[in-house]
Chain A
């Protein structure tokens, strides 16, 4: 978790430097090359080294076995191997940063990446390749654990929704990542040997690269957001003290997202040269994948009806998540509608859209999850007041940063621009101001969470009065998670039954 969070800050620093550059229309702070490297490294670090492993590899590794009533993941050694692979991959990433960077954009589009760029493309792709295996192994571990290691009485429909969503995520990791791996291998072969696989001047096809790349990288979006939804389902249930409305719909919508997510990759390529009919099919499927996400949002909202809503930090992050994810989701409809996509694709509108999903969604959920399970992991409470302040700062800063980008994108500012036309400046200044607030909002939790390790109030087994097996063991849990294997007799999020069961076995 520390490694992943460190990566988040590395990526965040790049982002902040970029925003600083974009304060003025002229490229005056950095050279174009430096700027190009900054956004490339920002993308690579954030996506491959932070967002993809963030929730699954940190919270998932810790919470998933406890939720299942298992002593550990099915393959602890493979889990360790996965961490080593991550660190090796990250070492390549850091090597690239230190020795001069890479400037292809995180998408490594050919033929630019194979023939024209003279930066460290090879080391970067190798790093991404290795991290890919780390995520495959994590996914494999989760699936097997969920299938084979549930506690007695814990049937599929008694599983917490966190498990359902992580399970769906793992499926995506397992089935999509190898395609990226082989694509990157082909890219490395082309770059080293100068043979035409994707480079048209040597007889290759650059669109094939895009197809293969997005076949992974679109599902990868769901690798990032599904765990976020997983956390949100847990936190909403815990802080409303209520059963999630439409449990089965929420559970199956995770699987539906994972499945449909495999069928929409070409919506990144509407203007790239695919046929009109292919574009229509992919646009239609894109509309379909929006439905399960909408279901989730409606269900979370409905859960709050006649609930007992507590305004504690994790819940604040989650309320922020629902609000921001809604914006991110509906702007996805704009992009999925072909006629608009032609205009706004590759503009700042897209940048704003996926930041609303990735940062407003995944990162907010990550913070919510860290705060929610912090007492369980460390046995200490963080300072509540500071937590609320940070949540508020993040929310305000985030909106100020990214909302103007929707406008500037529609007006016509293309993405990945080092210098831009002067009429876009006002909105860019707003955005940079927002990024400053956002940065403060992110640094605060780091400070007070570390502080709480030493001086935080001791947390009991169940500081939130929440349901779920993880709250039935001590904080932090013993080595095998439970002193004796728990037997589950209650439905998911069944407060009265759970509290009754806990009352009987509280002495454990």
Chain B
């Protein structure tokens, strides 16, 4: 019965309970107030209904203190709600340190997921249970929004920059993936299933297929686009050394400084003139229109894999790599994920590199694109 006609969404992530708690608290609070108001209205409307003996209302002014009371008390309650909601939001935005990296691209009208081992899925996503998963997302065309109702998380996916979301599933099963931002004709078909499985099963699934890890594919692209002619491994190149760079704060030619995060790397590839690192010439050509979103994510994974963020002593490591002028690292707040300390990065290339195999995954678009297909145990599982 419950599965056919749910009144409450499944609760399958660490934050889901918190969201539900706040939601239920608000239902009780606002429900009580609303019912009080309705009862008061009904009571007054009946008790003081117009009768021949009260054609004119009584001359009665309620005390002014009431007015103050219902200005101040709601204000205090609302601020309380705000604090609770903000605390929860903060928690939802801060990615745990050891999160597993998955990359997602949205396009009209499908979701493409790529594991750091290079395994790809369309409209279907396998994640291990009880492990934080960080999804780095971009869109190839219009704005989409990735929503996992069972995990109570959602983030818009933009064509212009990377967004990051994370969740930690708490129970195994198959749950909905939806696109929540209207994106065109088949918006309602742009969904699929997320399969939360045991870690061992996840490993088994990962072994099923891969084309080399994200980072190693990125490395190939790095050579294909001849990035390595300027971004060499020592300080002799015309461009900054990328090893050990990710997560650092670098000084720019115009005196500002910037934290090397996903969006900075993206911008440097697509619009290299925007922020030139101090000591370098603005000679890099733009790759706008040449590198698609998926390849960009691979390049990003490669730059990430060159390290930088793991060691909390960046000054020494920067000196040892002899790289571009790297300012002392501060836990600086970036525009996209201010809450996440930049030392949380976990190298993606070293974890779970899958074996090279042909097919992507058992979940083909045909099976998972129809969200009306029905129950969890459909053919979508691997």
Query: Are A and B close enough to touch in the complex, i.e. CB under 8 Å?
Result: yes
Which residues on A are within 8 Å of B, measured CB to CB?
25-27, 32-33, 36, 103-105, 109, 111-112, 116-117, 200-201, 203-207, 240-243, 245-246, 249, 270-273, 275-277, 279-280, 283-284, 287-288, 290-291, 294-295, 297-299, 301-302, 304-311, 319, 322-323, 326-327, 330-331, 333-334, 336-343, 345-347, 407, 410-412, 414-423, 426, 465, 495-496
Contact A346 B143 (CB under 8 A): no
Given A249-B71, A294-B74, A342-B152: 5 more A-B contacts, CB < 8 Å: A32-B185, A117-B184, A291-B75, A299-B67, A340-B85
Taking a contact as CB atoms under 8 Å apart, the answer to whether B152 and A343 are in contact is yes
Are B40 and A301 within 8 A (Cβ)? yes
What is the CB-to-nearest-CB distance from B228 to chain A, in angstroms, rounded to a whole number?
27
Q: In whole angstroms, what is the CA distance A36 to B55 when docked?
A: 53
Minimal Cβ-Cβ distance residue in A for B66: A302
A301–B33 contact, CB under 8 A?
Answer: no
Interchain CB contact (< 8 A) of B56 among A206, A241, A245, A342 = A241
Of the candidates A109, A304, A343, the one whose C-beta lies within 8 Å of that of B143 is A109
Residue of A nearest to B80 (CB): A287
Inter-chain contacts of A341 with B (CB < 8 A): 85, 89
- Cα distance A25–B191 in the bound complex, in angstroms: 15
Contacts of B41 in A (CB 8 A): 301, 304, 319, 322-323
Please name the residue on chain B nearest to A246 by beta carbon: B67
B-side interface residues, number (CB < 8 Å): 96
- Shortest beta-carbon distance, B160 to chain A, in Å? 3
Most chain A CB neighbours (cut-off 10 Å) among B19, B93, B182: B182
B203 within 8 Å of A by Cβ?
A: no
Which residue of B has the minimal Cβ distance to A406? B27
Task: Assess whether A112 is in contact with B142, with CB atoms less than 8 Å apart.
Answer: yes
What is the CA–CA distance of A295 and B371 in the complex, to the nearest angstrom? Answer: 45
Q: How far is the CA of A104 from the CA of B182 in the complex (A)?
A: 8
Contact of B141 among A111, A243, A291, A331 (CB under 8 A): A111
B92 within 8 A of A: yes
Contact B50 A308 (CB under 8 A): yes
Whether the pair A111, B142 counts as a contact (CB closer than 8 A) is: yes
CB contact between A283 and one of B26, B61, B86 (< 8 Å): that residue? B86
Contact of A291 among B38, B71, B155 (CB under 8 A): B71
A279 and B89 contacting across the interface, CB-CB below 8 Å: yes
What is the bound-complex CA distance between A91 and B3, given in angstroms?
A: 48
Contact, CB under 8 Å: A410 / B154: no
29 contacts between A and B (CB under 8 A): A112-B182, A116-B108, A205-B160, A272-B143, A273-B158, A275-B335, A279-B89, A287-B78, A295-B71, A301-B41, A304-B45, A323-B38, A330-B33, A333-B30, A334-B26, A339-B15, A339-B19, A339-B85, A340-B22, A341-B89, A342-B155, A343-B153, A411-B6, A412-B9, A419-B189, A419-B372, A421-B371, A423-B5, A423-B6
A270 to B372, CA, bound (A): 29
B156 is an interface residue with CB less than 8 A from chain A: yes
Contact with A along B151-169 (1 / 0, CB 8 A): 0111110111101000000
Known contacts A272-B156, A338-B89, A422-B372; A410/B143 CB under 8 A: no
Kindly list chain B residues whose C-beta atoms are within 8 Å of the C-beta of A290.
Answer: 74, 78
Please determine whether A322 and B93 come into contact, CB atoms closer than 8 angstroms. no
- Whether B48 pairs with A308 at a CB distance below 8 angstroms is yes
Q: Beyond A308-B56, A340-B26, A422-B372, is A277–B338 a contact (Cβ under 8 Å)?
A: yes
Contact B67 A287 (CB under 8 A): no
B176 proximity list for chain A (CB < 8 A): 412, 421
Report if B181 contacts A (CB, 8 A). Answer: yes
| With A276-B90, A411-B6, A411-B8: A310-B158 Cβ-Cβ less than 8 Å | no
Flag if B70 contacts A295 (CB, 8 Å). yes
Contacts A241-B57, A341-B85: A334 and B23 contacting too (C-beta < 8 A)? yes
Would A423 and B188 be within 8 Å (CB), given that A305-B48, A339-B18 are in contact?
Answer: no
Whole-angstrom distance between the alpha carbons of A290 and B56 in the complex? 33
Assembled-state Cα–Cα distance A104/B93 (Å): 30
Contacts of A301 in B (CB 8 A): 37, 40-41, 44
